[in-house]
Structure 1
Amino acid sequence: MKKLIAIATGALALGLAAPASAADLAARPYTKAPPMVAAIYDWSGFYVGANGGGGWARDCRNNVTTVTFLGCYDPSGAVAGGQIGYRWQSASWVFGLEAQGDWADIHGTTQNLGNALNSLSTKIDALGLFTGQIGYAWNNVLFYAKGGAAVVDQRFDFISNATGLAVASAGYNTRWGGTVGAGLEFGFAPNWSIGVEYDHIFLGHHDVTFINNTTGAALADTYNSGGDVDLATVRVNYRFGGPIVAKY
């Protein structure tokens, strides 16, 4: 009997001790997850780049003296050059200043409606844009509008249909005008971006004095010539500065 009481007492003691031992175990430590970090593209900083594409112009020529319409046509050709600028970003808004210079080979001819012996010719060999920008960024995608001043180096000629040579020329005229445009740019790597841009240059018409290429004398009649220019280019830029900003 005493043996049975001892066994029962020992079992009860083990039962009471088991929960106490479990309670004495250390609680599992809790580690707070680190905050999520979103990397956003930063468009701020100086940049340099190259561009290339095409241009389309308009030339409508008139003899002002005799009030004679000579014809209209659309010269076209390639452009290539570079740009340099600076942008700064505030939240999703991006502001910038840029200077662009391009070599151009925009040219064309058409028959002179006032003289069956020659044709009208125009060539643009250089242009520059000096603009301000305002844009909106979706991380590494930037849409922007631009506007400012433009300068174009343009030549006007009368070409002999028989020889293909210029019989009278106005030489290269440096013309200033306004410009507006828009572009879409994509940051594809740290500090590198690629984009497309369209620009319209307002040149209008102006009076031009032609020189006889044989005699060197100015033609007696005054002519009015010229028109606007459109550009479509692909651009690649390298930006100096940090490519991303960590945002919590």
Structure 2
Amino acid sequence: MKKLLLGTVALAALASPAFAADIPARTYTKAPPPVTAPALVYNWTGFYIGGHVGGGFTDGTNLMGSDARFLGGVQGGFDYQFAPNWVVGAEAQYSWLTGGSNNGTLFPGGTLVTGNTDQLGSVTGRFGYTWGPALLYAKGGYAWRDATNINATVGGVPTAFTTDGNHKDGYTVGAGLEYMFAPNWSAKAEYQYYNFGKTTFTAGPPDIVGTSFRNDEHTVKVGINYRFGWGGPTGSRY
């Protein structure tokens, strides 16, 4: 019995290496890469419309003085993104201004002259650089305003006068920062300067004849735009 048991153990020891050689080697399987969310792609190409609010003021060299006035308005335009972080476009903008506290200009002879511009418009080109959801841009082009309501009084009594024109047409330049905060929506902050030349009194009370005043406006606005993006070269917003 003892001899049989020893023989069985010896036979099993001899068979084990051969049996192990017949078992296929275990293959190594690489773990799958982690699943990540797709990167956001911001695209500025397309039309947009929106509105804005802000303030208008002058530098004290025209009839409005330097008092700030509230403004509000609308804008619309088109942008095209290329190369791939540059944006070019065009925009039309229209603003209404409140009258503010205009005390006018009192001349040495006692003539008081007041004036007011309550509408501003512009058609400009835009050129900017974008990174992610932000767009930094400059703008410039044609500007328009309603005819300035100029009044002259002597001792509180209205008096007649003439000027060399109403200077309704001019130019504008500005700059701003726009930010996409949601699909199809962007917000902006913008400074814009309007220049309509100088107005000169050609007839009227002697103390005002030959004098001139500037026709300019500085504006600061914040606004919001809805964008009708259509894809374009950089893909969709999300």
TM band (smaller chain): 0.7 to 0.9
Q: Distance in 1 between matches of 2:124 and 2:112?
A: 36
Asked whether the 8 Å contact 1:142–1:184 carries over to 2, the reply is: yes
Would the alpha carbon gap of residues 234 and 159 (structure 1) be closer, same or farther in structure 2, given more than 3 Å must change? farther
Which of 143, 161, 186 aligns to 1:193? It is 186
Following superposition, the deviation at residue 138 of structure 1 comes to: 0.9
Structure 1's unaligned 5+ residue stretches are 62-70, 213-219
Q: Any residues of structure 2 matched to 1:1-248 within 5 Å, and which? A: 1-21=3-23, 23=25, 25=26, 28=29, 31=32, 37-57=38-58, 60=61, 73-90=65-82, 91-107=84-100, 108-116=102-110, 118-153=111-146, 154-159=148-153, 162=156, 166-168=158-160, 173=166, 175-208=168-201, 221=209, 224-241=212-229, 245=235
Would the alpha carbon gap of residues 169 and 141 (structure 1) be closer, same or farther in structure 2, given more than 3 Å must change? farther
TM-score normalised by structure 2 residue count: 0.79
Deviations 1:81-134 (A, max 9, x none): 000100000100011100001111255223412332x42211011010110010
Deviations 1:58-95 (A, max 9, x none): 5657xxxxxxxxx8933531111000100000100011
Q: Distance in 2 between matches of 1:74 and 1:29?
A: 72
Overall identity of the aligned pairs, in %: 31
Q: Distance in 2 between matches of 1:168 and 1:19?
A: 118
Following superposition, the deviation at residue 175 of structure 1 comes to: 1.3
Q: Distance in 2 between matches of 1:18 and 1:170?
A: 114
Asked whether the 8 Å contact 1:49–1:238 carries over to 2, the reply is: yes
Aligned residues: 227
Question: Residue type matched to 1:53 in 2?
Answer: G
Would the alpha carbon gap of residues 132 and 76 (structure 1) be closer, same or farther in structure 2, given more than 3 Å must change? same
Q: Which moved more, 1:9-18 or 1:220-229?
A: 220-229
Question: Residue type matched to 1:157 in 2?
Answer: N
Question: Residue type matched to 1:42 in 2?
Answer: N
Q: Distance in 2 between matches of 1:76 and 1:189?
A: 32
TM-score normalised by structure 1 residue count: 0.76
Q: Distance in 2 between matches of 1:3 and 1:59?
A: 118
Asked whether the 8 Å contact 1:88–1:95 carries over to 2, the reply is: yes
Structure 2's unaligned 5+ residue stretches are none
